[in-house]
Structure 1
């Protein structure tokens, strides 16, 4: 079982448009509504793979009730933490070439009591979890050290932690040695304070995060592929994608694929890339099922192409 923690969930509506023309009336060619937030998406991807998951998240108001309803309809068990503020609503606009424009609301401000209740709920519901995936930004009211406290408490209870966040929250949590952290290229660059131009630059940055406490780093490099840097070695994987329909939740699907496959080693990395590649071919934040995956399209190697220039370098 994979338990997910989403401190700042959302109700997400995605519109597909022929083009995004500022100041014009635009008619959508398709739209959908999904429960959102990184951890929520991980749970949705785990459930789509036919595996058990439990989503722990603060929910408030009508949007929060709708998020719980949508998750229930997808067969996902929810452990809600009632909060006074309303769950945020986000909008994404997807264009045919894969360009995605996102408008994310701030979300509610959690009180000290709500913060502690969220931590307590994770502890009380984590018995039997193979992994706890802590994902996304922290809402107002939670200090940057909140994830660090969660990692410390989870480790004390014997659980393994996967952490997908960024900025001060990521850096603060490293001292508690999360089992795997999953930054994208931009977040990795921000964490080490310098640009990334090549795959080798990303490897060095991942090694620095390990020196600061991360036990393993699963780094997404966008269209170039993914890196895994862990005790057993450094691995690079990629998959060709003919057309990107939407990359909403693709990184979360990738993390789910990694954890489903055990959360370490080249096989788990291959699963991560297969899930991410399948997700970008689907509309909105639809999560891939096993039928959507193409493992044969994934290439994994320990001979990392250090000199390869990134398709989208991070300045």
Structure 2
């Protein structure tokens, strides 16, 4: 079972539009409403794959109730921590050429007791979990050290931790030695304080995160694929994508694929890439089911192309 923790969940509304013309009326050609937040998306991807999952998240107001209802409709068990503030609602505009514009609301400010209640809920629900995936930004009211406290408590209970966050929260949590961290290229560049222009730059940055405490680093490099750096070495994997429809939740789907396949080694990396490639070809934040996956199309190698320039350099 994969337990997910989403400190700042959301209600996500995605509109598909032919293009954006600022100041004009834009008519959508399609729309979706989904429960959102990185951990929520991981749970949705795990459930879509037919595996058990439990989502722990703070919820408040009418949007929070709708998030819980949507998750229940997808067969996902929810451990809701009631908060006084209203769960945020986000908007994404997906253009026909694959360009995505997102408007993310700040979300509620959690009180000290609410933050502690969230930690306690994770501890209460974590029995029997194979992995705890802690994902996304921290809401107002939670210090960057909050994830570090969560990792420490989870390890004390014998659980394995996958962490997908960025900035000060990521750096603070590294001292508690999460089992795997999953930055994208921009988050990886931010963590080491320098731009990344090649696959080799990304590998070196991932090695530095391991030096700071991460047991393994699973890094998404956008169209270039993904790398996995752990105690056994470095692996590089990629897969062809016919057309990008929306990248909302693709990284979360990728993390779900990694954890479903055991959360370590090249087999898990191949699963991560297959899930991520499938997700970007679906509308909005739809999560791939087994029939969407093309594991045979994934190329994986220990001969990492270190000199290959990144198609989207991270600054």
TM over 0.5: yes
Residue 285 of structure 1 aligns to a residue in which SS? Answer: coil
What's 1:31 paired with?
31
Aligned counterparts of 1:56 and 1:165: Cα–Cα separation in 2:
16
- Matched residue, 2:68: 68
- Could you tell me which residue of structure 1 aligns to residue 222 of structure 2? 222
Deviations 1:67-95 (A, max 9, x none): 00000000000000000000000000001
TM-score normalised by the chain length of structure 2: 1.00
Partner of 2:95: 95
Distance 1:85 1:25 in 2: 32
SS of residue in 2 equivalent to 1:15: strand
2:256 matched residue in structure 1: 256
Structure 2 residue 153 is matched with structure 1 residue 191: no
The number of aligned residues is 315
Gaps of 5+ in 1: none
Moved over 4 A (4+): none
TM-score (norm 1): 1.00
Show CA shifts across 1:177-235 (max 9, x none): 00000000000000000000000000000000000000000000000000000011100
What is the RMSD of the two structures over their aligned residues, measured on CA atoms?
0.3
Matched, 1:107 2:107: yes
Q: 1:314 deviation in Å?
A: 1.4
The alpha-carbon deviation at position 97 of structure 1 amounts to 1.4
Structure 2 CA distance for aligned equivalents of residues 273 and 222 of structure 1: 10
Match status 1:142 vs 2:142:
yes
The match for 1:242 is 242
* Residue in 2 that maps onto 1:307: 307
SS at match of 2:194: coil
Cα distance in 1, alignment partners of residues 300 and 157 from structure 2 = 34
Give the deviation of 1:129 after TM superposition.
0.0
Listed one character per residue, the Cα deviations across residues 147-171 of structure 1 (whole Å, up to 9, x for unaligned) are: 0000000000000000000000000
- Note the 1:267-306 alignment, pairs <5 A: 267-306=267-306
Q: Which residue of 2 aligns with 1:51?
A: 51
Q: Which runs of 5+ in 2 are unaligned?
A: none
Shift of 1:96: 1.3
